[in-house]
């Protein structure tokens, strides 16, 4: 497809150059760039070959620029003026700059100008006056500048796309971590309990079954949001409306969980962030804290809400892992902040999330 487009572009340039070359005596009427000799067959062949090199300007921009420069130089004796054929060199020079080879483009332009100056000095008849030379230099500088601007713009777009892709990968990883870590941790705790509590296997296995089912449901919901093709997969993200189910699953591990505060409607992204922060905090308590009780507090202000999870576990120095890092990213993604503090009495996870006003 690109080859076809480039070939078509080269054909358009050839047709334009040919028409302008034939009309040049009429248009210029012996001005500074007038055609001094009629177009000959060798000149026509050289014109076609020079324009044809533009087909390869994307793949070999430097060589095409050199080729068009040489072609224009050889073409000059046949007509006394390279005239419209210089357009091929200008296009090729733009391609060099547009691919990020700024210094190479400047060097090629300098060589071309040096060749023109030397040719004028060696010729008994001057074909370009000072104004024409100045305009030619200005054109070359403008073309190189446009090529560099195009390269910079594409580089910025590519960097933005790369950053967006990276952010999306992090978001997916965070979603999958939040979806799976909590329920798998519950499965681990319940299966360990089943091994040590003879006679109570049914209760533990029931909790394992429910936790695995919830993990699959949330995983399908996450994948449904990403793909939007499975009609049976729920696409609405979880929120504080499911806090009761989350608390019940955590209580099934033997942890006493208390909720202080009621949930209210908030923006969807804040609702999801609050739910995931509480979920990850409870997961960390289940896995690492060796706690007996946990209190989840939810408080609403005029412009923000606060979520706090306190446990009576080991506490001590807080080590930042994927869980805490994920909670912090959750809070920051909606313009909030999160802190984690630990001491001898336990650990506190506190998040402030904006629900109105400026972020």
Number of domains forming the structure of the chain:
2
Cα separation, 250 vs 282, whole angstroms: 7
Instruction: Output the CA torsion 225→227→228→231 (10° steps).
Output: -100
Asked if the structure places residue 144 within a domain, the reply is no
Residues 93 and 216 in one domain: no
User: pLDDT class for 352, splitting at 50, 70, 90?
Assistant: very high
Asked if the structure places residue 58 within a domain, the reply is yes
Residues 178 and 312 in one domain: yes
Closest to 109 measured CA to CA, from 121, 127, 97: 97
- pLDDT value of position 297: 93
- Above pLDDT 70, what percent of the chain? 62
Q: Is pLDDT of 222 > 70?
A: no
Whole-model pTM over 0.85: no
Q: What share of the chain is helix, strand, coil (3-state, %, to 5)?
A: 65, 10, 25
Stronger pLDDT, 138 or 321, i.e. the higher one = 138
Residues 119 and 169 in one domain: no
Residues 116 and 168 in one domain: no
Cα separation, 350 vs 186, whole angstroms: 23
**Mean pLDDT over residues 279-305, rounded?**
86
Helices (H) and strands (E) counted in the chain, each on its own, are 10, 5
Residue where a domain terminates, one of 107, 128, 149: 128
∠ CA 165-168-169, nearest 5°, is 90
SS3 (DSSP) at 228 = coil
User: pLDDT class for 313, splitting at 50, 70, 90?
Assistant: confident
Residues 194 and 300 in one domain: yes
The rounded mean pLDDT for the chain is 76
Q: Please check whether residue 318 is in contact with residue 338, taking contact to mean a CB–CB distance below 8 angstroms.
A: no
Which residue, chain included where needed, has tokens 């060749």? Answer: 115
Q: Which domain covers residue 225, as residue numbers?
A: 162-354
pLDDT digits (tens, 9 = 90+) for 152-162: 888 888 888 87
- Above pLDDT 90, what percent of the chain? 11
Closest to 281 measured CA to CA, from 297, 268, 265: 297
User: pLDDT class for 337, splitting at 50, 70, 90?
Assistant: very high
Q: Which residues fall within 8 angstroms of residue 300, CB to CB, at 6 or more apart?
A: 261, 264, 306, 355
Q: Please check whether residue 225 is in contact with residue 235, taking contact to mean a CB–CB distance below 8 angstroms.
A: yes
Q: Is pLDDT of 31 > 50?
A: no
Closest to 88 measured CA to CA, from 54, 122, 111: 54
Integer-rounded Cα Rg, in Å, for the chain is 36
Cα separation, 53 vs 68, whole angstroms: 7
Residues 52 and 172 in one domain: no
Residues 171 and 118 in one domain: no
Residues 274 and 328 in one domain: yes
Residues 187 and 297 in one domain: yes
Q: Please check whether residue 83 is in contact with residue 35, taking contact to mean a CB–CB distance below 8 angstroms.
A: yes
Q: Please check whether residue 96 is in contact with residue 104, taking contact to mean a CB–CB distance below 8 angstroms.
A: yes
**Phi, psi at residue 308, to the nearest 5°?**
-140, 135
pLDDT digits (tens, 9 = 90+) for 297-310: 999 988 899 999 99
Residue where a domain terminates, one of 79, 109, 128: 128
Would you give the DSSP letter of residue 292?
S
Residues 73 and 178 in one domain: no
In this structure, of 202-216, 227-241, 258-272, 342-356, the range with the lowest mean pLDDT score is: 227-241
Number of other CB atoms surrounding residue 289 within 10 Å: 21
CATH number at residue 175: 3.30.565.10
Residues 266 and 331 in one domain: yes
Asked if the structure places residue 134 within a domain, the reply is no
Asked if the structure places residue 267 within a domain, the reply is yes
Residues 39 and 104 in one domain: yes
Residue where a domain terminates, one of 128, 154, 186: 128
Closest to 193 measured CA to CA, from 265, 134, 252, 279: 252
Asked if the structure places residue 15 within a domain, the reply is yes
Would you give the DSSP letter of residue 347?
E
> Long-range CB contacts (< 8 A, 24+ apart) of 118-121?
119/73, 119/76
Asked if the structure places residue 239 within a domain, the reply is yes
Asked if the structure places residue 155 within a domain, the reply is no
Instruction: With residue 260 as reference, give the H or E element that holds it.
Output: strand 256-260
Asked if the structure places residue 28 within a domain, the reply is yes
Q: Is pLDDT of 253 > 60?
A: yes
């Amino acid at each position: 497809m690109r080859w076809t487009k480039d070939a078509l572009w080269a054909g358009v340039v050839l047709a334009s150059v040919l028409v302008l070359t034939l009309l040049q005596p009429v248009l210029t009427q012996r001005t500074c760039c007038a055609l001094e000799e009629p177009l000959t067959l060798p000149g026509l062949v050289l014109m076609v070959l020079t324009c044809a090199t533009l087909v390869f300007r994307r793949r070999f921009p430097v060589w095409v620029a050199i080729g068009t420069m040489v072609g224009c130089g050889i073409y000059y004796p046949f007509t006394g003026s390279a005239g419209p054929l210089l357009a091929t060199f200008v296009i090729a020079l733009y391609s060099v700059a547009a691919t990020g080879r700024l210094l190479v483009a400047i060097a090629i332009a300098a060589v071309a100008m040096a060749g023109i100056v030397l040719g004028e000095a060696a010729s008994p008849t001057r074909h370009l006056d000072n104004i024409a030379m100045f305009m030619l230099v200005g054109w070359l500088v403008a073309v190189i500048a446009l090529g560099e601007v195009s390269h910079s713009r594409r580089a910025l777009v590519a960097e933005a796309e790369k950053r967006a892709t990276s952010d999306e990968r992090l978001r997916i990883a965070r979603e999958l971590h939040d979806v799976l870590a909590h329920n798998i941790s519950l499965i681990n705790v319940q299966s360990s309990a089943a091994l040590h509590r003879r006679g109570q296997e049914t209760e533990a296995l029931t909790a394992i079954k429910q936790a695995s089912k919830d993990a699959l449901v949330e995983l399908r919901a996450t994948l449904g949001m990403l793909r939007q093709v499975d009609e049976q997969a729920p696409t609405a993200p979880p929120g504080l409306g499911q806090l009761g189910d989350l608390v019940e699953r955590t209580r099934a591990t033997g942890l006493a969980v208390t909720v202080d505060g009621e949930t209210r409607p908030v923006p969807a992204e804040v609702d999801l962030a609050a739910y995931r922060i509480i979920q990850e905090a409870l997961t960390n308590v289940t896995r690492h804290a060796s706690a007996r009780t946990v209190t989840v507090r939810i408080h609403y202000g005029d412009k923000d809400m606060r979520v706090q999870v306190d446990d009576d576990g080991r506490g001590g120095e807080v080590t930042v892992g994927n869980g805490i890092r994920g909670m912090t990213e959750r809070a920051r993604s909606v313009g909030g902040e999160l802190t984690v503090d630990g001491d001898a009495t336990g650990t506190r996870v506190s998040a402030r999330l904006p629900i109105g006003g400026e972020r």
